[in-house]
A and B are shown apart, each in its own frame.
Chain A
Amino acid sequence: MFSSELKKGSTELLLLSLLEARPRHGYEIGKLIEARSGGKLQFKIPSLYPTLSRLEERGLISGRWVEEPGQRRRRFYRLTKQGSAALGEKRATWHEYVATVNLVIEPEGA
């Protein structure tokens, strides 16, 4: 649907925004992206998991294992202080970018 480059560039933004409200585990994040995009964005483990790891490595999110009764333990991620600052910045850039592209792609004289 969208070019992989575009997706790659925005994956971090997507993940960070989904963690803004509350901590979530990996699969939940993947499913949420699919659901909210109406199935237009489909995330696979090979792109999702390393991105989570990278964000954690950079200290933008932090993960910990949580055991829920009757289930195997899952790793939940939450946004760190640094992460929410980065999210604000990325969101602004994105909006600016989209607005800019819109300006360019609008038909002339419209």
Chain B
Amino acid sequence: MTDWNSWVRERLDLGDLTDTHAADVVEEIGQLLEDHYTHLINSGANAAEAEAAAREHIDNWEDLRADVARARRSRRKTAGKRIVEGVEAKSLGKGEHWASFSNTLKDVHMAGRALRRSPASSLVMILTLALGIGATTAIYSVVEAVVLRPLPYPEADRLGLITFTGQGMNDSISITPSQTIDFAEQARSLSTLGTYRSFTNTLELDDGSVVFVPIAIIEPQIQRLLGISPSRGRLLEPVIAGETDGSTSEAMISEELWERHFAAHPDILGREIDVAGGSGPAVIVGIVPRGTRFLVHPQGERERIDVWLSRAAVTRRGNVFSQRAMAQLAEGFTFEAASAELNSIAERNRARDFENEDGRGVLAVVPLRDRLVKAVRPNLYLLLGAVGFVLLLVCVNVANLMLVRSLRRRQEWALRAALGASRSRIVRLGLTESLVLAALGGVLGIAVAAGCLRLLPLVTPDTLPRGAEIGINVTVLAFAAAISLATSLMFGLVPAWNASKIDLRDSLIEGTRIVSGAGRVSRALITVQFALALVLVVGAGLMLRTIVNLNSVDVGFDADGLLTFQVLPSVSMFEEPATRLQFYREATARLEALPGVESASWTNLVPLSGGFNSASWAYDEETVERFGELTAYFRRAMPGYFQTLGMPLLMGRDFNDDDVDNDRYVLIVSERMAEMAWPGESPIGKRVTIDFRTASGMTELRETEVIGVAPSSREVTLHGDEPPLAYLPAWSTRAVNRAVVRTAGEPMELLPLVRALVKDLGVRRPLDNTRTVRRNIQDATADTRFILILTGVFSALAVLLAGLGVYGVLSHLVGQRRHEIGVRMALGASRRSVRSMMMRQGLAVVAIGLGIGLVLALGLTRVIESMLYGVSATDPATFVSVGALLFAVAAVACLIPATRATRVEPVTALREE
């Protein structure tokens, strides 16, 4: 006869269990088999039959092993330590890992089966989730790249820019050369300080063509701050001032420039390169790797530099606020401490460089990252908040669908509960379903996000800093996973919990009739949806009003049909003021001779191009006493400027050639400035003292005479009050190289003719900043439009989701109440009364949601108050119309199921029960 113990021992691998316990198990199962064998013999079987039957009794040893191992948690070996009896093992044995994994697999499998059972609603849920998770992930990836990601520099948190804000000055980031030297020598709070300049200018290639390239001129210590490490060659070496005169300086070029314009020629090092605006030809000593960024400009300009030039150390010359300085904090110092130290150093040395009160102001070391993203941060967080609302709406929608589905499956849950499934097991099954849904939604959502990011450049303003770094990376993926998990909990817990509370008897008897508790939850969710949707749509509505207002701002001149461009004549061409003027006059005459051109003129700043020069001014001592220093915006203009812009002077005369040729200090003031200075009087002939300090950096008081008054216009900014504006004739300055051309047709179509003309006049460099003024206006509203487009899309999604939500819940309700409706109709209720009863059901909930939403919106729109123009954050018209719109959408969504309710045939409905 078989030795049943050895039979079992050979087949049952109980390596997981402690030896003594394994022996017990073997012995007991062996005994059971032996008992079975004996029983078979006693029932009349022969020995061979009994032995065969007993041997086959256990058909799956592996299952038995797993079952025993799972049953005997506490008897398992763990790292050689015996577990105290009765205490649950903390770490799982091999078998248990497998068992728990296979349990999870089983759950996932069951969840998959449940989802496949109603493929349409599963698909709707997955797509809804994908949309919500995708949109949120896309916006997050923007926030991550622009705001959250550390700057790509070593010890980036200690990098700062030094800013100086003088009295009566706008925020500026420049300091004087003397201050630069003082700070570098004396500030203990700064470990490194270097100056830089960046601009776009032309590079002449070997084949004679000329291209625009972004250029940075840096002191070599900046290279270390930026952590630049050349992929070929070496870094720039310090230049000693005075020694480079006539000789060549050094340059590094970007890998992109090297490939694009030098065909990645291996012998690039040692060649010379000559960019306009540099200090003559420079020898290329290194190649800067792709992806290196020069992030100092809050408007995202010139983040990729093509030509890096070395700059001679700053010398003490003049007290012009001309130096942009980047600094690294020394170990153990804060930005506040460094700012305080710089202010005290500057004040100590101020008397050496300035007279009187000049040069007074506040210095600060501003964290580089703050400087870059401070302006865009609130906008991006706003959008993240808005898309978060959409995600919440998605969760609510899916939760409602899950709830409806779980109601249909109550009998299944009840049966499971009756068979001994615990509440936690049922909740777990429900949650597993949500997790599977969210995982599928998340994966699809990442694809949606990737798609959104491809479309995003169409709407993001060019001025977004670090825009090039936006993309899907590990952090973004982790975020997507995290929000998928979070959403699955949000939309999964309520229905799962609801299902687990099932009263066995009720649900088995009641069949599928809706339970009031779950109905309440559904209705509460609808309330939440409409509240959220209203807040979003109100926000978008306010932004829309803002855009409309901005676009209809009366700019004070005729903005259509104006072409602007900048010419860049060589330095030698413009050396002599006489040749310079000669050039402009000839260019003007030839431009005006072009077909379709009505007039042309020149200025230093094109309307609404974002740039400005301001200076303080005073017209008499009394005003100074009354107002303190006044600041106005100044522009230079050639004769014909006002005519070209379509803003004829209100009084006095335009500049003439005589003013220009003789450097006359004559002034044309805006109507606004005239009203401020000489209310009720004619300004013509008045004298104004202008302090040109901030324009040139030096104190230079000049008395000017007012010769004309121009209408107030929005040349500086579309938002806010138009500041006082004054125009000076474009005499000696070189900067008056921007043309304004009034055309009869489409301005940009004129460009080929203009290019040929300028080339013909001897300017070899291509035109820069070729734009229309209309385009400038569009750019000035780009940030607002960006927010409007995105919040608009989010609002549309929100309205759709809320509409679908109320539609779904009411449809379900109608289905559940067929019997009741049948009874009502049998008792004589009219179709109309049934319809309005169902409509009331849905719309009452919606109305509560909208009420809550209105209150929420009143609080939340304050966040966007500063972004609005010409509309208040609590604009009643917007609130009311948005509320009405959402109510109308809800009414349409309710009408369909409510009408369906009226088609209930009383007899059929009653018989069904």
Contact = CB atoms under 8 A, between A and B. Distances in A.
Interface of A: 5-6, 8-10, 12, 26-27, 30-31, 44-46, 48-51, 53-54, 57, 59, 72-75, 90, 93, 96-97, 100-101, 103-104
Nearest to A50: B67
B195 interface: no
Contact of A46 (B27, B67, B505, B509): B67
B419 A6 contact: yes
Contacts of B31: 26-27, 72-75
6 contacts: A45-B33, A46-B58, A46-B67, A48-B32, A53-B72, A72-B34
A63 to B, nearest CB: 8
A51 B70 CA distance: 10
B64 interface: yes
Contacts of B63: 46
A45 B57 contact: yes
B74 interface: yes
Interface in B24-61: 24-25, 27-29, 31-36, 39, 57-60
Given A26-B28, A45-B33, A45-B58, A57 B418 contact: no
Contacts of B39: 27, 31
B420 interface: yes
Given A57-B73, A96-B504, A101-B508, 11 more contacts: A5-B419, A9-B418, A9-B419, A27-B31, A27-B35, A46-B60, A46-B67, A49-B67, A57-B72, A72-B34, A75-B31
B68 interface: yes
A77 to B, nearest CB: 10
B1 interface: no
Contacts of B68: 49-50, 53
A57 B89 CA distance: 12
B418 A97 contact: yes
A73 B31 CA distance: 8
Contacts of B35: 27
B827 interface: no
- Count chain A CB atoms within 10 A of each CB in B25, B32, B57, B72 and give the residue with the most: B32
B509 A27 contact: no
Contacts of B73: 57
B71 interface: yes
9 shortest A-B CB distances, which residue pairs? A9-B419, A50-B67, A53-B71, A27-B35, A54-B71, A97-B418, A9-B420, A50-B71, A46-B64
Most buried by A among B63, B71, B72, B508: B71
A71 to B, nearest CB: 10
A49 B420 CA distance: 19
A75 to B, nearest CB: 5
A27 B71 contact: no
Interface in B390-428: 418-420
Chain A contact surface mostly: helix
Nearest to A49: B29
A27 B36 contact: yes
Contact of A100 (B25, B70, B71, B509): B509
B64 A103 contact: no
Contact of B64 (A5, A9, A50, A96): A50
Contacts of A26: 28, 31-32
Contacts of A101: 508
Given A27-B36, A45-B57, A100-B509, A50 B419 contact: no
Contacts of A44: 57-58
Nearest to B88: A57
Nearest to B411: A104
Nearest to A104: B508
A83 to B, nearest CB: 15
Given A50-B64, A50-B68, A75 B509 contact: no
Contacts of B25: 53
A74 B70 CA distance: 23
Contacts of A54: 70-71
A64 to B, nearest CB: 11
A49 B508 contact: no
A26 B36 CA distance: 11
Contacts of B60: 46
A51 B64 CA distance: 11
A26 B57 CA distance: 15
B70 A50 contact: yes
A48 to B, nearest CB: 8
A60 to B, nearest CB: 12
B419 A57 contact: no
B107 to A, nearest CB: 16
A57 B504 contact: no
Nearest to B54: A45
Contacts of A49: 28-29, 32, 64, 67-68
Interface string B643-679: 0000000000000000000000000000000000000
Given A50-B67, A50-B68, A57-B71, A45 B29 contact: yes
Contact of A45 (B32, B72, B86, B418): B32
Contacts of B57: 44-45
Contacts of B418: 9, 93, 97, 100
Nearest to A59: B86
Nearest to B64: A46
A55 B789 CA distance: 63
B880 to A, nearest CB: 53
Interface in B52-102: 57-60, 63-64, 67-68, 70-74, 86
Nearest to B34: A72
Nearest to B419: A9
Interface string B757-794: 00000000000000000000000000000000000000
A110 to B, nearest CB: 15
Contacts of A93: 418
A93 B422 CA distance: 13
Contact of A96 (B28, B86, B505): B505
Contacts of A12: 420
A48 B29 CA distance: 10
Contacts of B29: 45, 49
A10 B68 CA distance: 19
B424 to A, nearest CB: 15
Nearest to B28: A75
Contacts of A73: 27, 31
A96 B509 CA distance: 12
Given A46-B58, A49-B68, A97-B418, A27 B32 contact: yes
Nearest to A99: B505
Contacts of A103: 508-509
A47 to B, nearest CB: 8
A19 to B, nearest CB: 16
Contacts of B36: 27, 45
Interface in B157-178: none
A11 B419 CA distance: 10
A50 B29 CA distance: 10
A26 B505 CA distance: 35
A31 B32 CA distance: 11
Contacts of A30: 32
Nearest to A9: B419
